[in-house]
Amino acid sequence: MSCAYALAKAGAQVQLLERNEIGSGASGGNAGTVAVGHPPLNRRGRLKQVLSSLLDQESPLYIPPRWDPNLWRWLRDFVRYCTDEHVEECMKVMAPLGKKALQSFDDIIEEEAIECGYIRSGYYKVCVTEPGLVSARNEAAAIEAYGYHPECISSEELRRREPEFSSELLGGIHYPESRSLNPLKFLKALTESARLRGARISEGVSVLSMSIISGRVVGLRTNEGEVGADAVVLATGPFSAGILNEVGIQLPLQPGKGYHRDYSLGLGGAPPIKVACELSEASVFCTPMGDFVRFAGTMEFSGLNRVMRTPRLDQLTNAARRCFPGLGSDGPKSEWCGLRPMASDGMPIIGSIQDIKGLSVATGHGMLGLTLGPVTGEMIAREILDADEPQLKKLSPSRFRESTLVNTKNP
């Protein structure tokens, strides 16, 4: 939607095809934090975590063992990228991009007068164990070196700022630059803005394949017939890999399932928290969204499906209770899961596909797809309409050319 909005705003004639409803993917149900400057998921020591997660449904990262050559190839690549050098390379790209992402968000929200509970007071990363706190502080120091301003705070200070926090918390970090919002409200408002700027939004239209003639994309085949196009932006989350595969392009993408549980505010429900936070050890985000609080997170590599596993959902509630003992005994008002498009090297995949003229992708945003949505739209629009966007050099799908991105069918 961010790409559609930015292209329409720049004067292009845009048609967005969505096979379900707008917001039915990960963008509608995520944790709603605009969190910038953080290192990628690929980090030294992840191999151990990957191996232990093969058996443990309660671990924040869970990979049910199954025979899937694509997953194993992806995991092999993912682990290869778990080096300090790679983290540094990513940070050099993602830290400045994060600053632009914040600006894009502020601009879009102001310019379009979007009402989505936008809170600009940052978020807290809070810890319940000493090793967790040490690791959170190390991460904060690394992020500070890239021009962000994390602040280490004590347990007492945490509770002074947010009285609902548990006394069990040992301390945490405040990331003042971050923001939070209700992602579905944001997405729906952005849809209206794109419409007002002339974009046609077609829901219930499924892209089946791409029409390619002499190495150029000329349209899309859908369940409602052929749609012609001078340019196509494929932004179908983790489903992008399958559509590209049909034309011989392989992208190292896997769906990373995450869950949310929403609790209404009030007696028996969620306490009135003011600012978003992440319970570090459990990787669970707690975000106030008006009259409810969303607890969201965990990562599961179980394929392209939206089967909900109760133990994974229970993890959210357990973490929430540890952080906020005031969470009541009423059940959640809603439960949900969604699929993040995870690239094996931990960076988004944005830009034109070299072998097929007119075709671009905007995917692989992993845990940062909300954060990077608006800035991605702006970069895609510039690349398509101005034929140049230097910022995309390091994010381009061509970076996988040597290893995993191959055009086997040469359409």
Question: Is there binding between residue 207 and ligand FAD (CB under 6 A)?
Answer: yes
Contact yes or no for 381/6 (Cβ under 8 A): yes
Q: Choose which of 19, 46, 161, 216 interacts with ligand FAD (CB under 6 A).
A: 19
Residue nearest to ligand FAD (CB): 369
Question: Is there binding between residue 136 and ligand FAD (CB under 6 A)?
Answer: no
Say how far apart CA 33 and CA 151 lie, in whole Å. 18
Question: Is there binding between residue 140 and ligand FAD (CB under 6 A)?
Answer: no
Question: Is there binding between residue 280 and ligand FAD (CB under 6 A)?
Answer: no
Question: Is there binding between residue 32 and ligand FAD (CB under 6 A)?
Answer: yes
Q: How far is the CB of 316 from ligand FAD (least distance, A)?
A: 9
Q: Is 238 helix (H, G, I), strand (E, B) or coil?
A: helix
Q: How far is the CB of 77 from ligand FAD (least distance, A)?
A: 19
Question: Is there binding between residue 312 and ligand FAD (CB under 6 A)?
Answer: no
Short-list 82, 26, 57, CA closest to 302? 57
Question: Is there binding between residue 237 and ligand FAD (CB under 6 A)?
Answer: yes
Q: How far is the CB of 80 from ligand FAD (least distance, A)?
A: 22
Say how far apart CA 35 and CA 122 lie, in whole Å. 8
Contact yes or no for 194/201 (Cβ under 8 A): yes
- Across the beta sheet with 359-363, the strand order is 232-234, 359-363, 349-352
Question: Is there binding between residue 18 and ligand FAD (CB under 6 A)?
Answer: yes
Q: Choose which of 24, 70, 250, 407 interacts with ligand FAD (CB under 6 A).
A: 24
Q: DSSP string covering 317-328, please?
A: HHHHHHH-TT--
- Judged by CB, which is closer to ligand FAD: 155, or 346? 346
Torsion of CA 296, 302, 303, 305, to 10 degrees: -60
Q: How far is the CB of 18 from ligand FAD (least distance, A)?
A: 5
Q: How far is the CB of 371 from ligand FAD (least distance, A)?
A: 3
Question: Is there binding between residue 239 and ligand FAD (CB under 6 A)?
Answer: yes
Short-list 187, 164, 138, CA closest to 274? 164
Q: Is 385 helix (H, G, I), strand (E, B) or coil?
A: helix
- CB-count exposure of residue 13 (10 Å: 0-12, 13-18, 19+): exposed
Binding range to ligand FAD, per CB under 6 A, among 6-14, 38-46, 58-66, 253-261:
253-261
Q: DSSP string covering 344-380, please?
A: TTSS-EEEE-TTSBTEEEEE-BGGGTTTTHHHHHHHH
Q: Choose which of 20, 83, 129, 305 interacts with ligand FAD (CB under 6 A).
A: 20
Phi and psi of 19, rounded to 5°? -75, -25
Span 341-400, contacts to ligand FAD by CB under 6 A: 341, 363, 365-371
Q: Choose which of 4, 6, 7, 26 interacts with ligand FAD (CB under 6 A).
A: 26
**For 309, which DSSP code?**
P
Question: Is there binding between residue 108 and ligand FAD (CB under 6 A)?
Answer: no
Question: Is there binding between residue 296 and ligand FAD (CB under 6 A)?
Answer: yes
Q: How many residues bind ligand FAD (CB under 6 A)?
A: 36
Chain residues in the site for ligand FAD (CB under 6 A):
17-20, 24-27, 30-33, 35, 206-207, 235-237, 239, 258-260, 285, 296-297, 338, 340-341, 363, 365-371
